[in-house]
Amino acid sequence: MSNFLFKKYEGPRNHGDFVWTHPNNKQSILIDGVSGALPEKAIEVCKHWLNNQPSTQRMLRPELVFGELHELLKQHQTQAVICLASHQTQPTTGAEMIVAHVIGNIRIYQLQRFQKPQSLRKMDRTQPLEALGQEVKPQWSRYELPLTYDRKYLIASDGLSHNRILAGELSIEALEAGVRSTLHNLREDDDWSAILFPIDLQTNEVTDDKLLDVLVGDPSSDRAEQAVHNALARRILEEPSLKGAKVIRNPFFRGARSTREVDTLLVSPLGLFFIEVKGHEGDVELYVDSNNRNSMYLIDNRGLTPKRIVEANPLIKGLEAIRNYQSVLAQVASELIPDARKTVVLCFTSSFGHVKCIDGNGAAHDVPFNHGEAIICNLNTLVDSIKHRAETWAGKRLKPKLTPQQIDAICQRFQPPKDEPIVSASLLPGLTYDESKLLTQESSDYFKVYLGSHYNDDVWAKKYISDSFKRLDYGASQSRIAREIPVLQRLGRHRVPGVPYYYWHYTSGADLVVFLEPGHPLNLLDWVHSKPSRQQRINVIQQVASTLQQISMFEDPQIVLRSVNPKNIRLDDKLNVQLINFELIQSDDIKTLPITARSQFDRVYQAEEVLDATAIANRSADVYSFALVCALIVSGDQPNKAYLRQPRGFRELFKAHRFPESGAELFLNAINPNPKLRPTMQLLHDEVMTWN
C-alpha cells in the first residue's frame, strides 16, 4: 500500500458538503453542514480555515482540527459534522490502516467482492446527535480500518441513500464499472460527498511525458489493464534491450467477419507480444491444453462457501489474435514484419491470488509458465518472462529484430487520424454550438452535451468522447456510437410523440457531434418528489405507455431502448413527457456498447439481460423497465423489486395509492426475470389507458 491514495467524489450541486485532502495525500477530511444550521456558511468557515493551514508534510491532529473548527463554527452560529481520516502504520506489526475520527452522522462502509456493503457505524440518522459548533463540545468516535487488497472503504455524507447501499446497490463490481455514475445513482439529493479508498497509484494513468511517449492509444478504463500498461512503460525506459518499444493499449484487429480487441500489444525490438490481462483477485485454475473455450476457473475463498466460476480461456483469445497477425499487421510493414517473432502473454495482476496452470496430464504448474506460443505470468514477472522468451530466438544478447522505424510503422496502424478542421458546409445552415457552454448535468463519461442554437431555437450538441470503438474503423464506429441517429430519424418520420427531434450530425476527425432537440427541464424523479396529484400521475403514466407502445410496434429491425429510467424521462411545465438519451438503444445487429456507455444504465430499472454484456435483449426489456417506472410514479418511492415480485406486491401497491388493482397481475408478470414470460407493451398500454 505504499502508493496509497484517497479519492474524493462530490454531487453536482454540492453546497453543504466539502472534502479537503492534505498535500501529502495521507489525510482527508469530509465535512457536512447541518441542515437548518446555515450549512453553506459552515462549509465556507471550515474551507477557509483548512486552506490556510501551513503547507507541510506533517498531518493535522484531530484534537486541533476539531477544537479550532468547533470554536469557529460556534462563533458564526452554524454547525457541521466531520470525519478526519488519516493513513497510519502500526508501529509493532508494520500493518497499514486508516484511523477515522468522526463527529456526527458521517457513514463508513466496508466493501468486499461478492458481499453486500457493511456499515461500520450505526449512524443512519437524518439529523446528527452531535456536531461541531453546538453548545457543548462534542465527543468523537475513533475507528481503525485495516488496509488490505481485498477491501475498500467509503466515507460518505447523508446525501447518499444508506438503505440502498446496505441493500447491495453499492459494490466493488459496480464501482469498477464507474465510480461517479454509481454514487450518483445512489443519491438522495444532489448535495453529497464521499471519499473512496484505498486507490493504488500504480493503476492510475501516468502523466510523465516520457512514459506517455511509450504508450499508444487511449487510456484503458480497466484498472488491471492500466497496471500492465504502466508497468510495461516504466520498464521499457529502464531496459536497454527494450529501447524504442511501444505499448499499444487495447488495439483492435479487424477481420473479414469479425473484430477482436486485445488488451495490450507490446511492439518491441525483440518482437511482438500479444498481452491478455486478467484482474481477478482470487485463485485461478487455467487448463492450458483444453480445447474448450470455457476452461478457466475463478475461485473466491473469502466467503463462507468458496465460489468457483467458469470463464472463457484467455489463451484461446490471444492465440486467435496471433492468427490474425499476418493479415492485419503485415499490411502495414510488409516484408519487414515476418522477421519478428510473436508470442501470447497472459498476465494476472492480482497480488494475492494464486494461479495454477494445469496441463493435459493434470499436473499443476506455478507462474511464470511457458506453454507453446504462450507465456502465463503475473505483473511482477511480466517483463522478465518476455525477455526470457525473446532469448530463445534473439540470443542471450537479445539482438534486435525490429528497428525503431519498423516499430513506428506498426504503431501507426493504431493511431487515430488527425482532427480535421470543421467546415462550415458540414453544418446545417443556422446551426451552431459553443463548447464553453457545457451542460454538466446532462453530460456523462460517454458524451458531453453543449448548448447550441438553430436560428432562434435552442439545441443540444451531443459530442461523443473518444473510445475504443473509434480505433477500430471510423465507419463501423459511427454505426455503433451514434446508433441513435437512424433510430431518431425513423421515429421522427412516423411522428412518435415524446421523442426529441433530430437536427443534424457531423464528424470531424475522431469527433462525432449530434444535434438534438433539448430535453425537457424536469426529470421524472424530481417531479415525483414534488408530490403530484393522482390524476397527474395517471396522465404521465399514460403518456409514457403511449410512446413505448408506438416504439414497440416497429419491426425489421425492432427498437429496444434499454434505458427507460427516471433520469431519461423528462417533463415540461405542462407535464408533456419526453424520452431522451437514445444512444443506448439496440437495433438490428448494433448491440455492442463501450464500457463508458454501459455505465449509464440504471441497475434499479434495467432488466438483467440488459446489464449482462453478453446477452441480447428484446422488447420485453422495456416492458420490465416500464413496470418499475410505473411503481415509482404510483408510490413516489424507488421500487422495491423483492416486495413487488411477491404475489400481492403490485396489488397492495395499487390499492394503497387508489390505483386500479385489475392490472396488478399483468405488472407482476412484467418484472419476471424470464423475458419470455413478460406481457407485451401493447397489453400494458391497454391496461393503463383505462385508468382514470
User: Which DSSP helix (H) or strand (E) runs through 611?
Assistant: helix 608-611
Closest CA to 60 of 99, 109, 32: 99
Average pLDDT on 603-625 reads 78
523-688 topology per CATH: Transferase(Phosphotransferase); domain 1 (1.10.510)
pTM as predicted:
0.44
Question: Does 481 have pLDDT greater than 70?
Answer: no
Q: C-alpha cell of 427?
A: 453544418
Q: Calculate the dihedral angle through the C-alpha atoms of 434, 439, 440, 441, rounding to the nearest 10 degrees.
A: -170
Residue 436 host element (H or E) = strand 431-438
Q: Tell me: the pLDDT tens digits for 277-294?
A: 887 767 889 998 888 878
Positive or negative, the CA dihedral 283, 286, 287, 291 is: positive
Q: Does residue 192 surpass a pLDDT of 50?
A: yes
How much of the chain, in percent, has pLDDT values that exceed 90? 30
Residue for grid cell 443556422: 430
Residue 468: pLDDT band with limits 50, 70, 90: very low
Q: Which three cell numbers stand for residue 332?
A: 502495414
Nearest to 2 by CA among 245, 196, 198, 210: 198
547-585: pLDDT as tens digits: 999 999 988 778 888 889 998 999 999 999 999 888 767
Class of the domain covering 424-516: alpha beta
Q: Report CA dihedral (259, 264, 266, 271) to the nearest 10 degrees.
A: -50
Which residues are registered as beta bridge partners of 160?
Answer: 187
Q: Which residues on adjacent β-strands are paired with residue 276?
A: 346
Instruction: At 59, list the grid cell.
Output: 498531518
Strand partners, 462: 449, 514
Q: What residue spans define the domains of the chain?
A: 7-199, 203-404, 424-516, 523-688
636 near 529, Cβ under 8 Å? yes
274 in Cβ contact with 344 (< 8 Å): yes
Q: Are 187 and 160 a contacting pair, CB within 8 Å?
A: yes
Grid coordinates belonging to 615? 446477452
- CA nearest neighbour of 250 among 224, 288, 282: 224
- The residue ranking higher by pLDDT, 38 or 227, is 38
Nearest partner of 460 among 362, 342, 552, 583, judged by Cα: 583
How do residues 68-92 score in pLDDT, each as one tens digit?
Answer: 999 999 999 999 999 999 998 887 7
Please tell me the distance from the alpha carbon of residue 208 to that of residue 658, in angstroms, as a whole number. 63
Instruction: Grade residue 202 by pLDDT with cuts at 50, 70 and 90.
Output: very low
Half-sphere exposure of 505 (CA within 13 A, CB side): 21
Q: On the CB side of 13, how many CA atoms lie within 13 Å of its CA?
A: 7
Measured from the Cβ of residue 196, the count of other Cβ atoms closer than 10 Å reads 20
pLDDT(513) > 70: yes
Residue found by looking up cell 511480466 in the block: 382
Which pLDDT score is estimated for 508? 65
Q: How many CA atoms lie within 13 A of 83 on its CB side?
A: 28
What does 541-595 look like in DSSP terms, one character per residue? HHHHHHHHHHHHT--SS-EE----SGGGEEE-TT--EEE--GGG-EETTB----H
Separation of alpha carbons 255 and 324, rounded Å: 7
Alpha-carbon distance of 31 to 39, in angstroms, equals: 10
**Assigned C-alpha cell, 91:** 508501529
Residue type, 156: A
Q: Share the mean pLDDT of the chain.
A: 81
**Residue 516 clears pLDDT 60, i.e. is over it:** yes
What letter would DSSP give residue 165? I
Alpha-carbon distance of 334 to 87, in angstroms, equals 55
With bands split at pLDDT 50, 70 and 90, how would you rate the model's confidence at 10? confident
Q: Which residues of 248-272 are buried (b: 16+ CB within 10 A; e: fewer)?
A: bbbbbbeeeeeeeebbbbbbbbbbb
The alpha-helical segments, DSSP class H, found in 304-444 are: 314-323, 325-333, 382-394, 404-412
Options 3.60.40.10, 3.90.550.10, 3.90.1150.10, 3.40.50.40; CATH for 7-199 is 3.60.40.10
Q: Which helix (H) or strand (E) holds 254?
A: strand 252-254
Cα 267 from Cα 414, distance rounded (Å): 12
How many helices and strands (H and E) does the chain possess?
22, 34
